[in-house]
Amino acid sequence: MDIAKAILKNSSFVLAGDILGRIFNLVSAFLLARYLGGERFGIFSFSMSFLSFFAIIDDLWLKPILVRDVAREEGGAALLLGNAVILRLIVSFIAACLIGIVLWSIRCPPDTTILVYIVLINFVLFSFINSYEVVFRVKLAMVYYITIDFIVGIFLVFLILCGIFLKSGLSFFITIIIIVNLIKLASLCYFSNRFIKLNFTPVFAICQDILKASWPLFFVATFVAINQRADQIMLFKMKGPGSVGSYVAAARLAECFTMIPLALSVSVLPLMSRYFHTSKEIFTRIYQLSYKYLIIIIMFIAVFFTIFSKPIINFFYGNQFLTSSCVLAVLIWAEVFIFIGVVNYMIIVSINQLRVGILCASIAAILNIALNLILIPQYDFLGSGVASLVSYAVSVSIVCFTPSVKAYFVNIAELTVKPLIGALITGIIIYLSGLPFSVSLLIAPLLYLVILCIIRGIDSEELMTLKNILFKANIEN
């Protein structure tokens, strides 16, 4: 199979797999939320926030560096990935100690503390799972990873339904996540050996090289994780698990769309890293078109979710979570800046300006914590949503105006005008029509596309160019 078809197939599987994964996560979330109620769902979400904190760090820290380095030089991939697992295990141990300090400092109840430490077992499993994922990414064989993820996702939903039927407690639902990840790890290990068999022999020089290349990303990832998950910990301390449950219900829905730019980055980041050194013209074209069409997608989503926030919350979680609709309408606009931020991140990694990422992420994290301290006492979980929106907006703005990387960015405001106009016109028409939510869900995307074509927000030649860059046979491996 030539490289064009391989990239197309790999990208398609990544996108389809991420969509299915997000669907499974949403199904799991609303099943648990409806069964557990706001208070216990808040405790569950608080416990899982530490796991997602670690997952965010790993996604932004080692994974981009490993994908880049294994793609450039596959000869030493086995040792490289094996030593990455060792580093991840060390970080997992340090993280467990730090989490213990956090739990002690906020005087977390003993039963919740026990649940958090059960969750920490997944840290070790993720250390291996994420390294095996890199194998499939680099080999353009994500069909294996996505298929396994799909099967274990179905199994997880089945186990959750069993737990609900048996009227199980929180510990049961957290334990089955460990069981599912064990099955996933065993399957990934078996199939990845067809491509690269990981070598876990410790090599200090390799670990040193990985740390040297990735330490700026580690700090970026840590600050990003703080920006995304510190609010849940602060809500738990300041307002209790009920507020955490209401906030997470909305956050889960808003965050599910992050898979769109992340799925694109799976194929685009290796290409951008390559073309930065071989063809600045193609490199520039890739990120320009990535900005434009990601903005077109997220503008429609943001407007639609703002208008229909209450029906959406009611559909997924029921009447008991309707108060989450206000924060959903705020968090969905934070996704606009997250979409832009993913492209910023790919540029920063490709041009090796990771220190800029540290600066922006650190400022955003500090701002987020400060705003949460100010807003939570008066506005509860809505204050956390506003804090997230402001911190993401500030982070994106700083990156775009930093002198050392400014030349690589486009005029975001200019790219936003037509998609925003199109989304607002679509939203006004749908709102005034009074159509039911289910009907609006079907009609609105088509109406948005028609309006964009009328106002020339979509360029068929640009779409063809993007397709050629990503998928045509003139892309060399």
Q: How far apart are CA 124 and CA 154, in angstroms?
A: 23
Q: How far apart are CA 134 and CA 145, in angstroms?
A: 10
Query: What is the residue-averaged pLDDT of the chain?
Result: 82
CB 413 within 8 Å of CB 290: no
pLDDT in tens, 61-116: 777 677 767 766 666 777 788 888 888 888 878 888 888 888 888 888 888 888 88
Lowest model confidence (mean pLDDT) among 25-34, 221-230, 349-358, 441-450: 349-358
Lowest model confidence (mean pLDDT) among 77-81, 166-170, 197-201, 274-278: 274-278
If we measure between CA atoms, which residue out of 177, 168, 160 comes closest to residue 119? Answer: 177
Q: Mean pLDDT throughout 190-215?
A: 82
pLDDT in tens, 328-348: 999 999 999 999 888 888 888
pLDDT in tens, 348-380: 877 777 778 788 888 889 999 999 999 999 999
Q: What pLDDT was estimated at residue 474?
A: 40
Q: Mean pLDDT throughout 188-217?
A: 82
Sign of CA dihedral 342, 344, 348, 350: positive
Lowest model confidence (mean pLDDT) among 26-40, 312-326, 395-409: 395-409
Q: What pLDDT was estimated at residue 477?
A: 39
Q: Which residue has the tokens 């090796």?
A: 352
If we measure between CA atoms, which residue out of 22, 249, 50, 37 comes closest to residue 164? Answer: 37
Q: What pLDDT was estimated at residue 475?
A: 42
Instruction: Output the six-digit token pair for 219.
Output: 């700090």
CB contact set of 344 (below 8 Å; sequence gap of 6+): 396, 399, 400, 409
Q: How far apart are CA 127 and CA 58, in angstroms?
A: 8
Q: What pLDDT was estimated at residue 326?
A: 92
Q: What pLDDT was estimated at residue 468?
A: 58
Lowest model confidence (mean pLDDT) among 37-41, 273-277, 362-366: 273-277
- Percentage of the chain exceeding pLDDT 90: 18
pTM: 0.80
Lowest model confidence (mean pLDDT) among 16-25, 34-43, 142-151: 16-25
Whether residue 185 has pLDDT greater than 70: yes
Q: What pLDDT was estimated at residue 1?
A: 42
